[in-house]
């Protein structure tokens, strides 16, 4: 069994006595060991990033962009290899893994625009012989802590833009599926990135706390569960760091009586069961306005959920692979048990699924609940698995109140042909990302990603324009060059034009 290594200052290093197993979730077998960094190992990475920062911050943005252009090309050339690594350790299908990588590459493309997004602003003659301008300058050493469900895409939300802005970056990826993340970072070095600018350190809470507590680390980006997001935000900000911490979700899809139901069903199938539901943007609740809509929706969903093609993620032509670990599968199955006990109607039961040839894999079939009510645990909590809950309401206003009352506000969508209803929904819903007949409204790279309420801790969203603002700080400069030497009397009033 091979051992995955850290990437520090351009070198692969072991640096840890503690290790964890990395599983192939399709087989249930451990395939790698991953080191869990000590504080000393993390400090090595911090020191390397700090040492690399002065030269990198003074590298012209156009030259930083050239690295990103080469990096993008290498990612595209190695798509099949990266998708294979993702599928082997996460379990998602090869097609889903390739799609994840493509969305990550979009963020590299945005980082290629560094000379444009870092231009700053200039005004001549804001006063007599006085010019003013602003610069967007890097913070220094910054860090990212990323989740298992998108081992390629979410790191690419963070470090390409942070590095293009002139920072040096330390990435702490998920220890559950680290191989693709490490491989992609190696491609960044192959693209010409100087040693120390990007470091990858594997670990658990000890590594995370080392990043939080290190005074050299000026900013932290995080994607994961809400309790950990809140912890990182609280501990980081009280130490004076910038923090953007993206947390959990419970995403609702509202189906109006005039919805194109066939297209809505197709959209819901992919949004609820794609990637085995292990997405923070997965639709996990379908809110039907009226019993007629709910009855028709459930009738159309049942045969499609039962017909999901499920198998080893590395096989082709599948709809779903396994969940990432046995513990994750058992946790989701426990939610299904709880929903049945609470009185929800389980119309499709995916528990106990066995995939021939992969009997030890971490598989769970698609599950569908009807008659779910807001007080049930399966409604309130993020399940993070292939479970869709149908809730019945009598009006759009009732549906919107349901969503606005929920503690999470990550993503939502509405299926309708009514422009007035869609406009009301977009205006009044208290959620950060909204789709109209779009089930997964993940913003493109030149916008920004982030939820509201307890789905995001921090003032700035991830990637796009907000990412530039997060990874830089503005410096305003006011400069005067008098046209001729002259003596002026002191002014004691606050200066003005």
CB 190 within 8 Å of CB 142: no
Helix (H) or strand (E) holding 109: helix 94-111
Stretch 429-433: mean pLDDT = 97
Mode of pairing for the β-strands spanning 251-255 and 217-223: unpaired
For residue 17, the model assigns a pLDDT of: 82
CB 338, CB 344: distance < 8 Å? no
CB neighbour class for 405 (10 Å; exposed up to 12, middle 13-18, buried from 19): exposed
Question: What pLDDT sits at residue 16?
Answer: 74
pLDDT score, position 49: 98
Q: Which two tokens stand for residue 288?
A: 């039907």
Mean confidence (pLDDT) of the chain: 95
Is 280 an annotated catalytic residue? yes
Q: Does position 486 have pLDDT exceeding 70, yes or no?
A: no
Burial of 150 (0-12, 13-18, 19+ CB in 10 A): buried
**In the structure encoding, which two tokens stand for residue 196, read together?**
């120390």
Nearest to 44 by CA among 9, 3, 4, 5: 9
Q: Assess whether pLDDT exceeds 70 at residue 487.
A: no
Residue 262 tokens read as 């066939």
Query: Tokens in use for 429?
Result: 């819903």
Residue 451 is predicted with a pLDDT of 95
On the question of pLDDT at 170 being above 70, the answer is yes
CATH of 2-247+455-477, one of 2.30.130.10, 3.40.605.10, 3.40.309.10, 3.40.1280.10: 3.40.605.10
Structure tokens that stand for 168 in this block? 């040096």
Match 């971490």 to its residue by tokens: 362
Does the pLDDT of residue 490 top 90, yes or no?
Answer: no
Question: Could you tell me which residues come within 8 angstroms of residue 430 by beta carbon, excluding any fewer than 6 positions away?
Answer: 403, 404, 409, 452, 453
Q: How far is CA 39 from CA 21, 48, 214, 246, in A?
A: 20, 14, 10, 24
> What is the spatial distance between Cα 306 and Cα 298, in angstroms, rounded to a whole number?
12
Residue 23 burial (CB < 10 Å; 0-12/13-18/19+)? buried
Tokens 């599968």 correspond to what residue?
A: 329
1 falls in which pLDDT band (50, 70, 90)? confident
CA distance linking residue 28 with residue 21, whole number of Å: 11
Q: Does position 497 have pLDDT exceeding 70, yes or no? A: no
Predicted confidence band of residue 481 (pLDDT cuts 50, 70, 90): confident
**Confidence (pLDDT) at 482:** 77
Burial classification of residue 17, based on how many CB atoms lie within 10 Å of its CB (0-12 exposed, 13-18 middle, 19 or more buried): exposed
- Residues 309 and 276 sit within 8 Å (Cβ to Cβ): no
Q: Can you give the pLDDT at residue 492? A: 77
pLDDT digits (tens, 9 = 90+) for 201-257: 999 999 999 999 999 999 999 999 999 999 999 999 999 999 999 999 999 999 999
Q: Other C-beta atoms within 10 Å of 309: how many? A: 10
Summarize pLDDT for 334-368 with one digit per residue, the tens: 999 999 999 999 999 999 999 999 999 999 999 99
Mean pLDDT of 111-136: 92
In CATH terms, the superfamily for domain 251-436 is Aldehyde Dehydrogenase; Chain A, domain 2 (3.40.309.10)
Tell me what percent of the residues of the chain surpass a pLDDT of 90. Answer: 93
Catalytic member of 112, 280, 288, 413: 280
* Angle value at C-alpha 106, between 103 and 109, nearest 5 degrees: 160
Rounded CA separation 369/25 (Å): 26
CA atoms within 13 A on the CB side of 286: 33
Quick check: 294 pLDDT over 90? Answer: yes
Helix H or strand E segment including 433: strand 433-436
Q: What pLDDT is recorded for position 485?
A: 62
What is the domain partition of the chain in residue ranges?
2-247+455-477, 251-436
How deeply is 59 buried, as exposed, middle or buried, from its count of CB atoms within 10 A (0-12, 13-18, 19+)?
Answer: middle
CA distance 328 to 389: 19
Cα 367 to Cα 349: distance, rounded to the nearest angstrom = 5
- Say which residue the tokens 């995370």 belong to: 208
- pLDDT average, residue stretch 291-314: 96
Taking the complete model, does pTM exceed 0.75, yes or no?
yes
The pLDDT of 430-443, averaged and rounded, is: 95
Q: Fill in the DSSP letter of residue 171.
A: E
From residue 437, alpha-carbon distances to 56, 71, 267, 280, 294 in Å are 44, 34, 8, 19, 17
Pairing of strands 11-13, 6-8: antiparallel
Query: How many Cα neighbours within 13 Å face the side chain of 170?
Result: 36
Residue 456, pLDDT above cutoff 80: yes
């Amino acid at each position: 069994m091979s051992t995955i290594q850290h990437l520090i200052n351009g070198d692969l290093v072991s640096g840890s006595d503690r290790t964890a197993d990395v599983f192939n979730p399709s087989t249930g077998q451990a395939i790698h060991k991953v080191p869990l960094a000590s504080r000393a190992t993390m400090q090595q990475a911090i020191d390397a990033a700090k040492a690399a920062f002065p030269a990198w911050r003074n590298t012209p943005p156009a030259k930083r962009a050239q690295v990103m252009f080469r990096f993008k090309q290498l990612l595209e050339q190695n798509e099949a290899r990266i998708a294979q690594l993702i599928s082997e350790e996460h379990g998602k299908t090869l097609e889903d893994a390739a799609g994840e990588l493509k969305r990550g590459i979009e963020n590299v493309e945005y980082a290629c625009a560094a000379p444009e997004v870092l231009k700053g602003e200039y005004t001549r003659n804001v006063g007599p012989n006085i010019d003013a301008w602003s610069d967007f300058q890097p913070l220094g050493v910054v860090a990212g802590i990323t989740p298992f469900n998108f081992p390629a895409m979410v790191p690419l939300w963070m470090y390409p833009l942070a590095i293009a802005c002139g920072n040096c970056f330390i990435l702490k990826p998920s220890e559950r599926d680290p191989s693709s993340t490490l491989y992609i970072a190696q491609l960044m070095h192959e693209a010409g990135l100087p040693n120390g600018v990007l470091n990858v350190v594997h670990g658990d809470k000890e590594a995370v706390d080392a990043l939080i507590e290190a005074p050299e680390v000026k900013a932290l980006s995080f994607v994961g569960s809400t309790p950990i997001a809140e912890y990182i935000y609280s501990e980081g900000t009280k130490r004076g760091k910038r923090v953007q911490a993206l947390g959990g979700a419970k995403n609702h899809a509202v189906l109006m009586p005039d919805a194109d139901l066939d297209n809505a069903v197709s959209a819901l199938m992919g949004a609820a069961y794609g990637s085995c539901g292990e997405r923070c943007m997965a639709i996990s609740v379908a809110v039907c306005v009226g019993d007629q809509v709910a009855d028709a929706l459930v009738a159309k969903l049942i045969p499609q959920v039962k017909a999901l093609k499920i198998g080893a993620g590395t096989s082709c032509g599948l709809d779903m692979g396994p969940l990432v670990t046995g513990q994750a599968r058992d946790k989701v199955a426990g939610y299904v048990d709880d929903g049945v006990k609470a009185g929800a109607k389980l119309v499709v039961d995916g528990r106990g699924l066995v995939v021939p040839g992969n009997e030890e894999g971490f598989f769970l079939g698609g599950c569908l609940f009807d008659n779910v009510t807001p007080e049930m645990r399966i409604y309130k909590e993020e399940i993070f698995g292939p479970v869709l809950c149908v809730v019945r309401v009598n009006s759009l206003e009732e549906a919107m109140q349901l969503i606005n009352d929920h503690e999470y506000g990550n993503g939502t969508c509405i299926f309708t042909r009514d422009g007035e209803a869609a406009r009301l929904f977009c205006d009044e819903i208290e959620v950060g990302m909204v789709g109209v007949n779009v089930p997964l409204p993940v913003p493109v790279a030149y916008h920004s990603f982030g939820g509201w309420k307890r789905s995001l801790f921090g003032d700035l969203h991830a990637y796009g324009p907000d990412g530039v603002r997060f990874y830089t700080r503005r410096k305003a400069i006011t400069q005067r060059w008098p046209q001729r030497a002259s003596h002026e009397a002191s002014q004691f009033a606050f200066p003005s034009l």
